[in-house]
Amino acid sequence: MYSVLLVDQNKHALNRTKTLLDWKSIGFQVSESTDQFSEVIPLLAEWNFSLIIINMKNYNSSAVMLVHRIRKQHNIPIILIGGSDDFQIARKALTYQVRDYLTDPVDKEALTKSLLTLKKELDFKHTIDSQFYRPQPGKNTNQSAASIIEKVKYYVSAEMNQNITLKKISRLLHFNSAYLGQKFKQHENMTFNEYLLQQRMEKAKQLLKQTDLKIYEVANKVGYTEMDWFYKKFKEYTGVSAKEYRKKMA
């Protein structure tokens, strides 16, 4: 169960959000709530939250400042609710890597969808952490880097059929995307995108050879929804079309 901190300076709206969902049925629980922005940082020091939800309606500037203060100390996911239609405010909030920006009054389906998307990432991060030991203080840098790269490769293998980006993986592992990309290239002697293409094409070759899946099904299995793009990348990688490859391997 993932722990949530609700923050809303309007007590009525705060109570409405608390009772809006059956939180536990989707894997979350509201562990704490506050109607004072000033209480958020102390609460973060006291509790191990998985998510903060902040209603910023009528408090746009102060809410953005709160997010700024949080980001100085924590990488915790943040969902913002309400606020102004002012694009500048929304853009400023997004620079602090908030998870989502929902309108007020918050829609039950929209909030549920946002939470389920986050839960999938939190679940996967937990799986990664249980598969690999976290680097310990005093361990040498090469060993730590190797552990990080193995987590990246594990994600690629497990989520092959999804839209995979280094930015998404970086967020899960709490690393800067450019830094992680640099470390990956140093460790693997290829860029992350080159590795991702290699893994997808090798998996596609395996599926074409060992299964009776239709070619579009193979493409979907390795993360391609645009068939023309899959055909192009497969031919560039193997020198033959997917259909020709299957015949050749039969």
Tens of pLDDT, residue by residue over 87-101, are 667 677 777 888 888
State how far the alpha carbon of 177 is from the alpha carbons of 95, 198, 206, in Å: 14, 20, 30
- In 3-state terms, what secondary structure has residue 6? strand
Tell me which amino acid residue 12 is.
H
pLDDT value at position 90? 67
Tens of pLDDT, residue by residue over 145-172, are 788 899 999 999 989 998 999 988 988 8
This prediction's pTM:
0.69
The rounded percent of the chain whose pLDDT value lies above 90 is 63
Would you say how long the chain is, in residues? 250
Q: Are 149 and 155 in contact (CB under 8 A)?
A: no
Confidence of residue 85 (pLDDT cuts 50, 70, 90): low
pLDDT value at position 114? 94
Tell me which amino acid residue 6 is.
L
Separation of alpha carbons 13 and 120, rounded Å: 27
Separation of alpha carbons 49 and 47, rounded Å: 6
pLDDT value at position 250? 81
Q: Facing residues of 6 across strands?
A: 33, 53
CATH architecture entry for 194-249: Orthogonal Bundle (1.10)
CATH number of 2-121: 3.40.50.2300
Average pLDDT for residues 115-125, to the nearest whole number?
91
Going through the chain in order, the beta strands assigned E by DSSP cover: 2-8, 28-34, 51-55, 78-81, 100-102
Average pLDDT for residues 96-118, to the nearest whole number?
89
- The mean pLDDT of the chain is 88
Confidence of residue 84 (pLDDT cuts 50, 70, 90): low
pLDDT value at position 219? 96
pLDDT value at position 180? 92
pLDDT value at position 2? 96
Alpha helices by DSSP H, 28-176: 40-46, 60-73, 87-94, 108-131, 141-158, 166-173
Residue 19, pLDDT above cutoff 70: yes
Confidence of residue 86 (pLDDT cuts 50, 70, 90): low
Q: Are 73 and 50 in contact (CB under 8 A)?
A: no
> Higher confidence at residue 112 or residue 107?
112
pLDDT value at position 201? 97
Tens of pLDDT, residue by residue over 163-210, are 999 988 988 888 888 999 999 999 999 999 999 999 999 999 999 999
Tens of pLDDT, residue by residue over 47-72, are 999 999 999 888 778 888 999 999 98
pLDDT value at position 132? 64
Average pLDDT for residues 79-91, to the nearest whole number?
72
